[in-house]
Amino acid sequence: MKFRTGLLILLAVLLAAAPASAETWPNHRDGFMIGFNVGGGSASANADQGGSDSFGGGAGSFRLGWAFSNQFVAGLESTAWVGETDYGADLTLSSYKLNFTWYPGATGWLLRAGFGSGTAEVSADIGGQNLSVSDNGGSFGIGGGYEFRLTRTFALGVAVDYNTIDVGDGNFDFTNFTAQFNWYF
């Protein structure tokens, strides 16, 4: 609960503080971009036969891309969620996607979607031994947010991203609420 409260306070501060300096620099995107997100979120494990469990944890992403116009960026993104299950096992979800980001009206608003592959890994300490199991599958993600241009090349923002990884007899979903840091060169 403390983690969620802290995350909500962080997002509120970002949303309240950034407009004061926003629009000092125009939202111009052209050429190479690099960015990362940090925050938290929730994940769920869903079995095809029924049943689902949800967990809270930390989240982040890293992306490299190319701005083809002021409204469109394409690139590669790695997104991860890490947490502990109710059973004491560590759960790591990661996806690697070809991502497309659209900035409607060349403003700070953004919509993002991507597809690729993902990995779900569960590890636990059982009887003094660390055991780990992982599975790979297809991945899909969508998201949205807003970025505030603080300098000519740097934008600070907030984002919500949903990802799903289809593995074996089920899938893992994770939703990340993050602060994002983007540089446009």
Quick: pLDDT tens for 87-127: 778 999 999 999 999 999 888 999 999 999 999 998 988 88
Identify whether the C-beta of residue 163 lies closer than 8 Å to the C-beta of residue 118. yes
pLDDT of residue 7: 54
pLDDT of residue 105: 87
Quick: pLDDT tens for 35-53: 999 999 999 888 776 666 7
Q: Is the dihedral of CA 67, 174, 10, 12 positive or negative?
A: positive
Quick: pLDDT tens for 58-95: 999 999 999 999 999 999 999 999 998 777 789 999 99
Identify whether the C-beta of residue 109 lies closer than 8 Å to the C-beta of residue 180. no
pLDDT of residue 46: 82
Residue 21 has pLDDT above 60, yes or no: no
Cβ contacts of residue 150 below 8 Å, gap of 6+?
Answer: 18, 21, 22, 24, 25, 156
Question: Which domains are assigned to the chain?
Answer: 2-184 (2.40.160.20)
Please choose, from the candidates 183, 154, 181, 163, the residue with its C-alpha nearest in 3D space to the C-alpha of residue 10. 181
Quick: pLDDT tens for 155-183: 999 999 999 999 877 889 999 999 999 99
